[in-house]
Every structure is written in structure tokens, then in C-alpha cells.
Amino acid sequence: MIRFERVTKRYPGGHEALSDVSLEIRHGELLVLAGHSGAGKSTLIKLIAGLEKPSAGKVWVSGQEVGALRANQLPYLRRSLGLVMQEHRLLHDRTIFDNVMLPLIVTGYPPRDAAKRVRVALEKVGMAEFEKAMPLTLSGGEQQRAAIARAIVNKPSVLIADEPTAHLDPAYAREIAALFRSFHSAGVTILLATHDETLFSPYGARRVELSRGRLLA
């Protein structure tokens, strides 16, 4: 489903964030990507979503080489992935409902059906009662659940999350972990970058670890 073939990523300035990484994520797998801060986890995720390009090597997603896609093809790739990125928080000037609706507006979904899809996504993450709320009136855990609803509203077959439990109380973090487990049970392929890996170990996750840009055996 996702394949890294000897991928190296060097940022401008020469810093090597990933060094010769080869990795395969199979259909239906739950993969936990562990590693210290600065190990290269976010970079690996950005390469999958085409937000960065490899300096060497190839990244394949669903049979397509990401680095070979043209700029106008990248939005299609990103829509096929559910992404929960650290820097893409909810928009603060609109309700939870409207935030979750955004990806459907972008894809030109008919408004009537879109509203239904938004409610289904909000129900899945236990946020149905908060649809009219503004993001900043909610707890960190609730905001994170809404961000996950936004990521799954397009029903992606792959869900990728960068530190989805960062800055959450342990109880909220466990809720989020259980949520990913339920998507995994429903057949979604999941990649999670986390330093909170014990949260996911009971769920039969495969674990790989990055250290200073290298994948440990």
C-alpha cells in the first residue's frame, strides 16, 4: 500500500532528516512509528502526502510514485489519505460542523449528502453533540477528535496521524487510541507517529523506530 525504497531526505542547509529508509506498510496494517523528537517521523509522513519530496529514493502510495506526481495531481493523492497533521489544527472562525465539512466542499460533494457524511463522521468520533460548537470552546481531546473526523469524512482507506495524542491528558489519549483501533478494525490502514507507543501496543500494532533518520531493525 505504501512503500519507501531507499529514501533519503535532506532539507535545504544539508541536514539529513531521513537516511536510506526502506519500509513497507501493508493493506490493513496498523503501524506505529516510534522515535525521539527530531528522529524524522513527521518528515516520513510528509513524504507520503507529497508535502515534501525525497532527495533520493522513491515513495509509492497505492501504486503511484509520489515524487513523480505533478502538482495538480497531488490534491487527489491527499484526498485518498486521511491526514491528521500537527500543523493543521481546526479553523477557529467556524463551527466543528463546518470544519469537518471542509474536505467535502473541496471535493465538490453535493451539499445535502455532505451534511449527512459530516454527521456520520462526527458520530464515529463521539462528537455529534458538539457540531455547533466553536473549536476554542472545546477541550484538547475534543478538538483532536474533531480533527480526526475531518480526516475521515472522505472515507479514506489510509489514515495517517502525526502525534495524535500529543498534549492530551492520559484519559483523552486512551480515547483517541481506542478510536484508531476501531478504524483499524473496520479495515482502514493506519500509520501513527507517536512517542506514546504503549497506548497502541495492546492493539497488535507493528512497531518500527526511527533514530536520527535511520530505521532501526
Cell of 8: 533519503
Q: Rule CB under 6 A: is residue 72 a binding residue for ligand ADP?
A: no
Contact positions with ligand ADP (CB under 6 A) in 88-127: 88, 91, 102
CA distances from 178 to 49, 68, 107, 182, 203 (A): 24, 36, 29, 6, 9
Task: Considering only the stretches 37-45, 54-62, 120-128, 183-191, report the one whose residues sit in contact with ligand ADP under the rule CB under 6 A.
Answer: 37-45
What pairing do the DSSP bridges indicate for beta strands 214-216 and 206-211? antiparallel
Centroid of chain to Cα 90: 14
Q: Rule CB under 6 A: is residue 74 a binding residue for ligand ADP?
A: no
Q: Which is nearer to ligand ADP, 39 or 176 (CB)?
A: 39
Q: How far is the CB of 13 from ligand ADP (least distance, A)?
A: 6
Q: How far is the CB of 36 from ligand ADP (least distance, A)?
A: 7
Q: Rule CB under 6 A: is residue 43 a binding residue for ligand ADP?
A: yes
Contact 77, 50 (CB under 8 A): yes
Residue-wise burial string across 110-145, b where 16 or more C-beta atoms lie within 10 A, e elsewhere: eeeebeebbbebbebbebbebbebbbeebeebbbbb
Of the candidates 156, 167, 155, the one whose C-alpha atom is nearest the C-alpha of residue 195 is: 167
Task: Considering only the stretches 22-30, 83-91, 113-121, 164-172, report the one whose residues sit in contact with ligand ADP under the rule CB under 6 A.
Answer: 83-91
Task: Considering only the stretches 82-90, 107-115, 117-125, 138-146, report the one whose residues sit in contact with ligand ADP under the rule CB under 6 A.
Answer: 82-90
Q: Which is nearer to ligand ADP, 1 or 102 (CB)?
A: 102
Helix (H) or strand (E) holding 200: none
| Chain residues in the site for ligand ADP (CB under 6 A) | 11, 13, 15, 17, 35, 37-43, 83, 85, 88, 91, 102, 150-151
